[in-house]
Amino acid sequence: MPSDPFTPGVVAGRLSADEIAENFQDLHPPLNDHEAHVAADRCYFCFDAPCATACPTTIDIPLFIRQIATGTPEAAARTIFSQNILGGMCARVCPTETLCEEVCVREVAEGKPVIIGQLQRYATDRLMAAGTHPFSRASDTGKTVAVVGAGPAGLAAAHRLAMLGHAVTIFDARPKGGGLNEYGIAAYKATGGFAGAELDWLLGIGGITVEYGKKLGAELALSDLEDRFDAVFLGIGLAGVNALALEGSGPEVVNAVDWIAEMRQSKDKTDIAVGRDVVVIGGGMTAVDAAIQSRLLGAGNVTMAYRRDRAAMAASVMEQNLAASKGVRIVCNAAPKALVASGVLFARTETRDGQLVDTGETFEIAADQVMLAIGQSLAGQPDLALKGRKIAVDEHGRTSRPGVWAGGDCASGGDDLTVTAVAEGRDAAMDIDAALSA
């Protein structure tokens, strides 16, 4: 395979395994004890802390930081895990810059927040490394719950239900659990097989059985699950990929979600094909992750093209800046029109009176590979009421079918974030427990 990163075309092995390993190191290396104590000492331990209010899982952030400051990181981890059992992954991928850290008093006063996310990782990694589980199961209730989807929402629901004494069976369509944590998160955010290790650790609570290769609508029928179990929780995510019809031919076109999933399952990433000139269409987190990782695999020129202005991008400013720091060019007000021999033809857009309009100007961006990152949708149509393109749920996660709950990206409600999915799975589990105990 070619080792020259400037080789044209879509090829694998642009960089050596050692070069790729160097490029994909931790985005934020873990803190050592001294760094953690210095960072924790910056916290004011606010009463009614705005950071805790901004956290979707309502972790008591001042408490866990105080526990780190007093030299008890394991206690800090238990504080975190009591609210967010996937606190280790959320510490790595949560957009803290737009949640807890954005409202940190230090950020407001000085423009430099307490590094809450990195402190959370410090504490959770310490406890997980000990190999012990911080919680134990309640006595068996005799009730059974089916959880469809082994992503963040499903895992959070399953863990809380198991902890409350219910017998849980998780079904997942893929050969591994973890959902987006395993298949969709940028590799430089969750290194060293962390998603799989976290899953194994979470299952240490006991009372949870996992069956892979079982997809709702194929190997599984919702009506059958309702007959076999006392309750059902759906955390099936958004497995469908939004389509974009581009006329013409020229560069290779791939779905960014599938490309990232393939790369995440690769042993050393030298077998992942990437273009020399890559165009990623989209303005969200998936687009950023695809663009950055294309550069890290050796693509010479990578452009993110988004049809609206930069302020409308779903990716945070921090993620946009991270992409730029890795050599990714961001072009806004660019709506894709067609594939051409040299790449992609775009229409120049602008916003007038709140409406996106085509200015009539066109331009081309050179590409031999085009990645589509324009959002995902619910795969299939479960026999449930929908709200837009998602399963309609109430504030407790209850769907239109009695005995069926849903949460995470597949359900109407909050932002499509790992931490939000965890909160929704946890809260639905508490409502399921209340229903089963009535």
Mean pLDDT within 6-23 = 91
Q: What is the pLDDT of residue 37?
A: 97
**CA 106, CA 110: separation in Å to the nearest integer?**
5
The position carrying tokens 């009614």 is 48
Q: What is the pLDDT of residue 383?
A: 87
* Kind plus residue range of the DSSP H or E element containing 15: none
Checking phi first, is residue 158 left (phi over 0); if not, alpha (psi -120 to 50) or beta? alpha
Q: Which of 132-146, 237-251, 318-332, 342-356 has the lowest mean pLDDT?
A: 237-251
Q: What is the pLDDT of residue 179?
A: 95
Residue pLDDT, tens place only, 41-56? 999 999 999 999 999 9
Q: Which of 335-339, 347-351, 414-418, 419-423 has the lowest mean pLDDT?
A: 414-418
pLDDT at residue 4 tops 70: no
Contacts of 117 (CB under 8 A, 6+ apart): 28, 91, 92, 94, 96, 100, 101
Beta-bridge partner residues of 369? 252, 278
To the nearest 10 degrees (0 to 180), the angle between helices 116-129 and 33-40 is 140
Q: What is the pLDDT of residue 3?
A: 53
Instruction: Please report the domains of the chain, with CATH numbers, ordered by start residue.
Output: 17-24+241-376 (3.50.50.60), 33-129 (1.10.1060.10), 144-239+379-437 (3.50.50.60)
Residue pLDDT, tens place only, 93-127? 999 999 999 999 999 999 999 999 999 999 999 99
Q: What is the pLDDT of residue 245?
A: 81
pLDDT at residue 240 tops 80: no
Helices then strands, counting H and E runs in the chain, come out as 16, 17
